[in-house]
Amino acid sequence: DLLRHHPQLQSAPVQTALRRKQMLRKLQKEELIDEQFAVCMASKDAIVQHTLLTLSTLTRDQIEALHTHGATRAVRNIAKQRLQHKQ
């Protein structure tokens, strides 16, 4: 977290990579809660959202949110497939 404020790490791509790494680390270590899901959705980061779709703990509402508002067509299509298999 301290590195985030270092002057040489202030470029947008570096900041995006740091945020992504932080979100992915939380997804691996912690149980998914609504607040964390909302942060992942708001990030509009396809890699993070794709990782969300690998979690078996996603609720139907969360999968529907990914299907409707996913960052990329690939994320939306995978969510659609998961919805079809959950029926």
10-47 pLDDT, tens digit per residue, is: 677 888 888 899 999 999 988 889 999 999 999 999 99
pLDDT tier at 87 (50, 70, 90 boundaries)?
A: low
29 vs 6 pLDDT, higher one:
29
Q: What pLDDT is recorded for position 39? A: 95
What letter does residue 2 receive in the DSSP assignment?
G
Query: What CA–CA distance (Å, rounded) separates 24 from 26?
Result: 5
Coil, strand or helix at 70: coil
59-67: which pairs have CB atoms within 8 A and are 24 or more residues apart?
60/86, 62/37, 65/37, 65/41, 66/41
pLDDT of residue 14: 80
pLDDT band at 7 (very low <50, low <70, confident <90, very high): low
* Sign of the torsion angle spanned by Cα atoms 26, 40, 83, 58: positive
